[in-house]
Amino acid sequence: MIKLLLIRHGPTPWNEIGRVQGHSDIPLSDSGRARVRTWRLPEEFAGFRGHASPLARARETATILGLGDVTLDARLMEMYWGEWEGETLNALRARYGEEMIRNESRGLDFRAPAAESPRDVQLRMLSWCAERAAEGHSCVAVAHKGVLRVVLAAAMGWDMTGPAPAEMEWDCAHLFKLDRIGRPTIGRLNIALVPRAGAP
């Protein structure tokens, strides 16, 4: 099996105030850069091929982590939220009330107006995973919360309704294993990104 290590990008100004980012190309915040500078990829993953979402927050995280010349792929991008990018979930829930509750209860089929669903993101990610499995090289990818969640959903048979069957911590790395056609299973979740020497 091929190993796939997934890491969420560091925090951005929009993360810090709870705005939905989607494809909006928001860079890391100063505090986000400082946080990522405390991370280090564990030695067991040295030599993994580097990949990243082309959005600035993921590319910058990959650079700070020292992943080198990463391969960018749009399939690693966050879910496109269409008309709701820049909104907060609390504001959307207040505005749409029961309609929003019904939409969120659809799990993988949740969809904002003129946007992607988590199922759409999962399908593009499984396509990307199939290519990595065919190449036969273990890899590390810096992506987004929505991307990591759909891979977890595929690995655990979760339809994204109700609570997640496993908790993912966002300052950690998450290891999946890909079978010969790219289907993911859980390796290890919440792997500490070892602090760099001298980091607080």
The model's pLDDT over 14-58, given as tens digits with 9 standing for 90+, comes to 999 999 999 999 999 999 999 999 999 999 999 999 999 999 999
Domain extent for 105: 2-192
Closest by CA to 112, choosing from 79, 134, 77, is 79
pLDDT at 71: 98
Residue 198 lies in a domain: no
Q: Where are the alpha helices (DSSP H) in 18-75?
A: 30-36, 56-64
Residue 105 lies in a domain: yes
Count of the separate structural domains present in the chain: 1
Q: What is the mean pLDDT of residues 59-71?
A: 96
Residue 119 lies in a domain: yes
Distance CA 157, CA 178 (A): 15
Residue 200 lies in a domain: no
Residue 197 lies in a domain: no
Residue 103 lies in a domain: yes
Distance CA 50, CA 52 (A): 7
Q: What is the mean pLDDT of the chain?
A: 96
Distance CA 129, CA 84 (A): 28
pLDDT at 1: 87
For residue 198, name the pLDDT band (cuts at 50, 70, 90). low
pLDDT surpassing 80 at residue 92: yes
Tokens read off for 62: 């990959």
* CATH number of the domain where residue 87 is located: 3.40.50.1240
